[in-house]
Structures are given as C-alpha cells and as structure tokens.
Structure 1
C-alpha cells in the first residue's frame, strides 16, 4: 500500500533518497567537521536533494496532466476553460522545475548538478516516447520488444530516482562503488515498481475498464505471438463502434505467457535492488529499503 497507491502522492522518491543516505552514512574521507552537520545520520544537503527530487517528480506529474484538446468535444464543457487549465499546468510545472534548479545550484556540487540535469533530460525523452506511442493507431507500438520497453521505462520512471540515489552518495563523498550500488538500487526499484503497476489490471479480480497497450504484459504477449497475430487479436477485440473490448483483450493476454513473464521480470528487478542495497552495512534504514524492494513483488 505504501509503494503503490493510486489515490495519494506518497512522496516515495524523496523518502528513498533519505533512507539510502542514512544507510550509507558518512564516508571515510569526509571530515569530522562535516559529520557534525548530520541530523539522524543524514546531511542537510541530502535532505535538500530529497526535496529537489520530489519537486522534479511533481513538476512532471503536473506537465503530464495537460489534456489533448484535439479529443475535446462540446459535451465535455467549455474549451476556453480547458485551454486556460493547460496553460496553468504548463506554468505550474515550469515554476516547480525552476525552484528545483535553484535548489540544485545551491548544493554547490557540479557532479550532482550534472546528474540531476541529465535525469530531467531523461524524463523529457521518456515522456516523448510515451506520447509518440499513444498517438499511433490504438496505441499499438510496432517493433517494441521488452528490451526497448525497459530502456524507455527507465528514462520516464527510473532515471530520476537512480541518479538521485547516486547524487546522495556523491554529496556524502562516497566512492564510485557506493555510488554504483545506490544507482542500481534506484534503477531496479523503479523498474520493479513500474512492472508491478502494469501488472495490476491483469492480476486483480475486478476487470478494468481499460489498460495501456504499452504495458509490460502486453509487450511480452506481443513479442510472444508476433506482430501479425497481435494485429488479428486487436481486430477481433474491436466492437461495432470501432472501440476496443478491453475485457476480451485482457482474456487474450492472460491466456498466454505475457503476465507470467512480466511477473518474473518484476521479481528479477526486485532481487537486483535487494542485491545492491545488501552491500551496505546492516541497519534499520537498510531494512526499510529491503522491505520496499520486496513489496514490489506483491501483486
């Protein structure tokens, strides 16, 4: 419930950055004077980084809330109101990003600025891929295998957390190995979390109204049956109004190995995240991160 809850913004990314900062603690090369600034085993700069990570994530959530006005109809309400809403969403997202960039500059660490700036670039690229796949007919993404899905999902869902975890290690002057482990934890946790989210419509007892055709189980199914067969299955699931019958399509995907393959991949990423975090000394904070990594495999 903590890791995945569609009703509340639980600020998981900021918390993970704080927990991994506490797990790693001060580095051997950091001065005793610097260690005096720590509160509950976390540097002030790492707390600021956690806030910046949440700000960036929230900014992109606001930007994703922009409505496609081409699909707007008269029955949906006044178009002017929606145009104004879209402008406010763009400005609000930009304002949050500007605040995040100001906070980033105040950390006075060029390596961290470079890491988080590249994460923002990754997010933009990932959202571009998402939007381009949604504009294709029925959301069909021809030629996408699970490897491409993982690459694109990392850009839109994993890069920010992975690079923020690495940046937290850099702020505490940890070596490259600690930075690599923190990055891997963030990366694999994010991918496992997204796989868990994609699997929800396929494992819940209540059938969903709709689901994404670029979800991991669908991509696995598409890869398994081949493009031609997949197109046939989509045509068979179409109603007389040229809409998709999602309950029929759900049964088609569940009848093959798509769902089990996605669940296996989710477990793989969870295990890789656990492997990375268990390289750090045992502590209460590490146990919390282990619990979060294990929770993504509970569907």
Structure 2
C-alpha cells in the first residue's frame, strides 16, 4: 500500500480523533486539520516503518504514531500563532483570529492532552519516552525564542539549538520512535534519529529563508512575519555580518515606517540567503549520510527524495 493511501486514511482519522465535548474546541482543532499542511511527519513515520519492517508491513501502532505526531505538531502551531500573533496559518485564518486567544490556548492544550492519551495507549514505553521529550523541547524552544527577540548577540549555534527544539526534535523523535516500534537495533534507531534531526534542521532553515523570499500566498502566513517579531534566523544572522544598516533597523525594532521592507531588501541584497541555503544543504547531506546503512529500495529512494523536496522549495 503506497504512503499516499495511508495519508488519506490519516486525514480522515485526525478529524474523528479530536472529538471534544465542547463544540468550540472541536471546531478549533478541526479548523487546522481541514486546512491540510505538508504532512511531513506522518509521511516520515510511514516511510521509516516500511524501511524497518519485512514486506514493508505497517503496524497499527505505526499508523497511530503518525497521527500522534501530526496532532502534536498542530498543537504547537496553535500556540505558536498565539505567541507570534500570526493571523493566518496554512492559508486560512489562525485559530486565535477565528475564535479568540483563550480558545486557541485551550485548543492547543486539548490537542497536547489528546496526543498524550493516544501515546500512552501505544503501550510501548520506549516510544512514549522518546515522543514525550518533544513536548518539553517545544516549551524550551518557545522560551528561547521569546527571550532572544531582537537580540543581536545570538550566534548561529544558538539559532540551531532553538531550531532543534522547535522543529527538528519532533521529526527526529518520530523517526526514532517508528524504528523502536519496529523493534530494530539501537544502532538503526539512532541512525533514523540522526536522519530526522538533520532533515528537521534543514527544513527549519529553508522555512526561515522562505520567510524572507516567499510570498504570503506560498507561505500560508504573512511574509516577513518572523523578522517582524524579532526572530533572528539564519539568513538574517548571516546578512548582519555584511549589512551594518540592518543592525540599526533591528536595534530600533522596526520602529520607523518602511523598516520591515528595508530590512528584507537588505537581507536579499546580502549573501545571507545563499549562506543559509548552504547551511541547509550541509544538514541535508548529513541526513542522507545517516541512511547509508539502508539497502537500495523504493522506500530508501523516497527518504532521499524528501531531502530534495525540502531544498527545492526555494530553488
């Protein structure tokens, strides 16, 4: 059965899984699931499951893990949008702008709680430990991001650490937990964790480049929204090395009219985007290297193609 078929079933299941007694909570949760999204995390769960099981067999616990990862991811987006005051997500109005901030916070909490319930029912303690750590990482990433807004002293390594907590942690944990459910060797589990970690870091770097070069339509959220919130990402950090004017604009927190447009223009004129792209490619190569233990197969090819897909979003 191809991964696409599993994803179609997953989409149907997500809407039935998030049943809440309160219709507002259900409406808030369903609102985002109906908007779709890339479904990268469940796709990886299905591919890693096929790569680690005989005859590409996918277990029911793999399918449930795929659903759990998407619920956790969606919960984090709901809370992210509240913190960043983002009005759109996946091309539709964000939960807090459709309903209100209280509903959005409660909806995010509800989704995290729902995911924890399904996670416990996997009855695989090792997988539970791996995925549970992700929710701690999300909180750590959000705290780091909010404490370092407009902070010109942050380094590229600080940015990578925050990107791990906010994005790569869930992708890495999803890949590893899938291999755990498949009862593979520790070495194989760690290789898949490494693949997910580097893929996730590259994914975040590319997403941060798109915040500068993409359109609101392609992003599903306003362009430059991360920069406007003072989140200094890879292309901005690299651009700061050669654009002193950019530093002045960020220091005054885009106080003057036209500051955001000018800042984006300065980043685009610099080598910041190219250097960030090079950094993403380094992580994608590390992800590919983590899969060298796998034999050639359609699944192996698909895992490699995901690295290409991530990079080609900006080429």
- For normalisation by structure 2, the TM-score amounts to 0.74
Paired residue secondary structure (1:247): helix
Is 1:12 aligned with 2:30? no
> 1:232-285 CA distances to partner (integer Å, 9 max, x unpaired)?
3547996xx624523322232233332221010011111111122242122212
User: In the alignment, is the contact (CA less than 8 A) between 1:11 and 1:54 conserved in 2?
Assistant: yes
Paired residue secondary structure (1:66): helix
Aligned-pair RMSD on alpha carbons?
3.0
Task: Write the distance in 1 (CA, Å) between the matches of 2:75 and 2:39.
Answer: 13
Match of 1:186 among 193, 196, 202: 196
User: In the alignment, is the contact (CA less than 8 A) between 1:18 and 1:50 conserved in 2?
Assistant: yes
User: In the alignment, is the contact (CA less than 8 A) between 1:23 and 1:286 conserved in 2?
Assistant: yes
Task: Write the distance in 2 (CA, Å) between the matches of 1:124 and 1:24.
Answer: 31
Task: Write the distance in 1 (CA, Å) between the matches of 2:234 and 2:287.
Answer: 19
Task: Write the distance in 2 (CA, Å) between the matches of 1:297 and 1:82.
Answer: 31
Is 1:157 aligned with 2:167? yes
Is 1:53 aligned with 2:69? yes
Task: Write the distance in 2 (CA, Å) between the matches of 1:204 and 1:153.
Answer: 19
Q: Number of matched residues?
A: 262
Within 5 A, what are the aligned runs for 1:1-299? Answer: 8-26=36-54, 40-66=56-82, 85-134=100-149, 140-203=150-213, 210-213=224-227, 214-222=232-240, 224-225=241-242, 230-232=246-248, 234=250, 242-298=256-312, 299=314
> 1:35-93 CA distances to partner (integer Å, 9 max, x unpaired)?
xxx8x511221111111111111111122232679xxxxxxxxxxx9797222112211
Mind listing any 5+ residue stretches in structure 1 that lack a counterpart?
A: 27-37, 70-80, 135-139
Task: Write the distance in 2 (CA, Å) between the matches of 1:260 and 1:17.
Answer: 31
Shift of 1:8: 4.2
Shift of 1:177: 1.1
Paired residue secondary structure (1:212): helix
User: In the alignment, is the contact (CA less than 8 A) between 2:215 and 2:223 conserved in 1?
Assistant: no
Mind listing any 5+ residue stretches in structure 2 that lack a counterpart?
A: 5-34, 86-95, 217-221
Aligned to 2:24: none
User: In the alignment, is the contact (CA less than 8 A) between 1:24 and 1:281 conserved in 2?
Assistant: no
Task: Write the distance in 1 (CA, Å) between the matches of 2:249 and 2:82.
Answer: 31
Moved over 4 A (4+): 81-84, 201-206, 233-238
Paired residue secondary structure (1:107): coil
Shift of 1:98: 1.4
Of the two, which has the highest radius of gyration? 1
Task: Write the distance in 2 (CA, Å) between the matches of 1:68 and 1:123.
Answer: 15
Shift of 1:146: 0.8
Shift of 1:190: 1.1
Aligned to 1:34: none
- For normalisation by structure 1, the TM-score amounts to 0.77
